[in-house]
């Protein structure tokens, strides 16, 4: 019996924290309450969003588990967990963000297809594992290669889960060989999350973590790695997770005209308030997260409490006692930045947040301008409408 198998139904799902907000039960898709995100810089595993496309795979006997590496290599190999553990171990603190984060707000403009997510389809963990660049050296691919001697240019990851989008086949994705063999890109085959053995929901026994890139490329329950000339042709690379202009809809879509989304753009959201909230006039602490893709840091987070007429800069932080400097040597380049500001909240305010990354990219003002049929990458300014407690009845307080 192989080391890693996928059930065909949902009878053997792992236990989950009861406080998660469930967006779809089967497959299990859930996110924490937004306030849980800013309670700590590192997201506890229980409160880390869970994004699945089928029943959760399981391992009966870890000693039989292997991951194969084949395709355009001179000699295919099979690695056991022992072989992976024997490679140098790296701990990389990185935020995973689903491309569908904040999709619900995009659907409010015009209906989009996909699991509805509020603002918590992301989390930050310290991932422990081997670097993919070290693993690929075992099949004779040197560091910083763009093409192998046999013409391989892409590294495909294949899982074992049964996804209906793949007609019962497994989840797949690929990244360019150049990124996979670059030690500074920090692509991991991870077996630990926050110092604990990876759990079933997050990819036990081994998953890919591609920092700075939409979560969809970080394949869980890794079964095999293929070196290919072309990028992966699977559903989730070719017929999903692509960004279309607002004029494209389901009746005129041509998937092959766009590239699979990789890096995510600059993003931020306020986590201490609901989108429509009732708070007293006066001072209030506003806190949230900001992040950008491709390893770019967060240069600034601007907050407004008057619908964008005036702005103040929020304090940014990652670790205690270390001043956050975007792209600084002490900063975690693949992780979010938390922010906070204390503001005067006038009556009937609209509170806004927008972040600027280290390449001076700014979030778009309106969700209408970036609407797309799959509802991905809603990075528009996060808006919170305040109804002051004095202007609503006591019963609503």
Ligand X SMILES: Nc1nc2c(c(=O)[nH]1)N[C@H]1C(S)=C(S)[C@@H](COP(=O)(O)O)O[C@H]1N2
Dump the DSSP string for 181-212. T-GGG--EEEEEETTEEPPGGGTTT-EEE-TT
- Closest contact distance (angstroms) between CB of 283 and Mo ion is 37
Cβ neighbours for 153, distance < 8 A, ≥ 6 positions apart = 146, 147, 176, 177, 228, 229, 230
DSSP class of residue 232 equals P
Distance CA 112, CA 97 (A): 19
- Closest contact distance (angstroms) between CB of 175 and ligand X is 13
Q: Nearest Cα to 50, choosing from 26, 24, 18, 28?
A: 28
Q: Considering the complex, state which of residue 79 and residue 341 has its C-beta at the smaller distance from ligand X.
A: 79
Binding partner of 94, given ligand X, Mo ion, none, CB within 5-8 angstroms per partner class:
none
Give the tokens for residue 326. Answer: 């975007």
Q: Considering the complex, state which of residue 50 and residue 51 has its C-beta at the smaller distance from Mo ion.
A: 51
Q: Considering the complex, state which of residue 50 and residue 383 has its C-beta at the smaller distance from Mo ion.
A: 50
- Closest contact distance (angstroms) between CB of 100 and Mo ion is 6
Q: Nearest Cα to 151, choosing from 259, 57, 253, 227?
A: 227
Are the C-beta atoms of 189 and 35 separated by less than 8 Å?
Answer: no
- Closest contact distance (angstroms) between CB of 214 and Mo ion is 6
Distance CA 384, CA 345 (A): 12
Q: How many other C-beta atoms are found inside a 10 Å radius of the C-beta of residue 178?
A: 15
Q: Considering the complex, state which of residue 120 and residue 331 has its C-beta at the smaller distance from Mo ion.
A: 120
- Closest contact distance (angstroms) between CB of 379 and Mo ion is 15
Q: Considering the complex, state which of residue 31 and residue 302 has its C-beta at the smaller distance from ligand X.
A: 31
Q: Considering the complex, state which of residue 182 and residue 240 has its C-beta at the smaller distance from Mo ion.
A: 240
- Closest contact distance (angstroms) between CB of 313 and ligand X is 30
Question: Taking the chain, what is the end-to-end CA distance rounded to the nearest angstrom?
Answer: 59
- Closest contact distance (angstroms) between CB of 147 and Mo ion is 29
- Closest contact distance (angstroms) between CB of 5 and ligand X is 13
Are the C-beta atoms of 47 and 30 separated by less than 8 Å?
Answer: no
Binding partner of 32, given Mo ion, ligand X, none, CB within 5-8 angstroms per partner class:
none
H or E stretch covering 287: strand 282-291
- Closest contact distance (angstroms) between CB of 386 and Mo ion is 31
Binding partner of 219, given Mo ion, ligand X, none, CB within 5-8 angstroms per partner class:
ligand X
Give the tokens for residue 249. Answer: 């809809």
Binding partner of 50, given Mo ion, ligand X, none, CB within 5-8 angstroms per partner class:
ligand X
Binding partner of 125, given ligand X, Mo ion, none, CB within 5-8 angstroms per partner class:
none
Binding partner of 53, given Mo ion, ligand X, none, CB within 5-8 angstroms per partner class:
ligand X
Q: Considering the complex, state which of residue 171 and residue 381 has its C-beta at the smaller distance from ligand X.
A: 171
Binding partner of 153, given ligand X, Mo ion, none, CB within 5-8 angstroms per partner class:
none
Q: Which residue is nearest to ligand X (CB)?
A: 215
Binding partner of 220, given ligand X, Mo ion, none, CB within 5-8 angstroms per partner class:
ligand X
Cβ neighbours for 135, distance < 8 A, ≥ 6 positions apart = 69, 79, 84, 87, 189, 225
Q: Considering the complex, state which of residue 220 and residue 296 has its C-beta at the smaller distance from ligand X.
A: 220
Residues that bind ligand X (CB under 6 A): 48-53, 96, 98, 159, 161, 171, 202, 215-216, 218-221
Distance CA 39, CA 171 (A): 32
Residues that bind Mo ion (CB under 5 A): 51, 98, 215-216
Helix extents (H) in 126-239 = 132-137, 177-180, 235-238
Binding partner of 204, given ligand X, Mo ion, none, CB within 5-8 angstroms per partner class:
none
Distance CA 351, CA 59 (A): 47
Sheet holding 154-158, edge to edge: 77-80, 66-71, 224-228, 154-158, 172-176
Binding partner of 337, given Mo ion, ligand X, none, CB within 5-8 angstroms per partner class:
none
Q: Nearest Cα to 132, choosing from 93, 90, 170, 164?
A: 90
- Closest contact distance (angstroms) between CB of 102 and ligand X is 13
Q: Considering the complex, state which of residue 235 and residue 324 has its C-beta at the smaller distance from ligand X.
A: 235
Q: Considering the complex, state which of residue 212 and residue 215 has its C-beta at the smaller distance from Mo ion.
A: 215
């Amino acid at each position: 019996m192989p080391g890693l198998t996928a059930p065909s139904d949902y009878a053997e799902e792992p236990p989950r924290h009861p406080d998660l907000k469930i967006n779809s039960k089967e497959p299990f898709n859930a996110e924490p309450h937004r306030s849980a995100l800013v309670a700590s810089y590192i997201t506890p595993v229980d409160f880390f969003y869970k994004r699945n496309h089928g029943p959760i795979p399981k391992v009966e006997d870890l000693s039989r588990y292997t991951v194969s590496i084949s395709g355009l290599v001179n000699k295919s190999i099979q690695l056991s967990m022992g072989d992976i553990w024997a490679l140098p171990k790296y701990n990389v603190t990185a935020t995973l963000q689903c491309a569908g984060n904040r999709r619900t707000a995009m659907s409010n403009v015009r209906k989009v297809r996909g699991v509805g997510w509020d603002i918590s389809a992301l989390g930050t963990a310290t991932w422990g594992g081997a670097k993919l660049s070290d693993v690929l050296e075992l099949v004779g691919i040197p560091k910083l290669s763009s093409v192998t001697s046999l013409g391989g240019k892409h590294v495909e990851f294949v899982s074992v889960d049964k996804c209906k989008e793949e007609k019962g086949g497994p989840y797949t994705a690929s990244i360019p060989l150049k990124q996979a063999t670059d030690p500074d890109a920090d692509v991991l085959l991870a077996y630990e999350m926050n110092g604990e053995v990876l759990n079933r929901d997050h990819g036990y026994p081994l998953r890919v973590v591609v920092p700075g890139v939409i979560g969809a490329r970080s394949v869980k329950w890794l079964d095999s790695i293929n070196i290919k000339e072309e990028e992966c042709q699977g559903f989730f690379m070719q017929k999903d997770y692509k960004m279309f202009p607002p004029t494209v809809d389901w009746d005129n879509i041509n998937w092959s005209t766009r590239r699979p989304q990789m890096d995510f753009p600059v993003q931020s959201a306020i986590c201490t308030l609901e989108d429509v909230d009732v708070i007293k006039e006066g001072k209030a602490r506003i806190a949230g997260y900001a992040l950008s893709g491709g390893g770019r840091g967060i240069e600034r987070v601007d907050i407004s409490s008057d619908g964008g007429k005036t702005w103040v800069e929020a304090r940014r932080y990652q670790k205690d006692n270390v001043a956050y400097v975007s792209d600084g040597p002490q900063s975690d380049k693949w992780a979010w930045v938390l922010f906070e500001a204390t503001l005067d909240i006038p009556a009937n305010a609209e509170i806004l947040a927008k972040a600027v990354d280290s390449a001076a990219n700014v979030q778009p003002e309106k969700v209408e301008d970036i609407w797309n049929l799959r509802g991905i990458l809603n990075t528009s300014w996060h808006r919170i409408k305040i109804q002051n407690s004095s202007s609503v009845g006591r019963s609503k307080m």
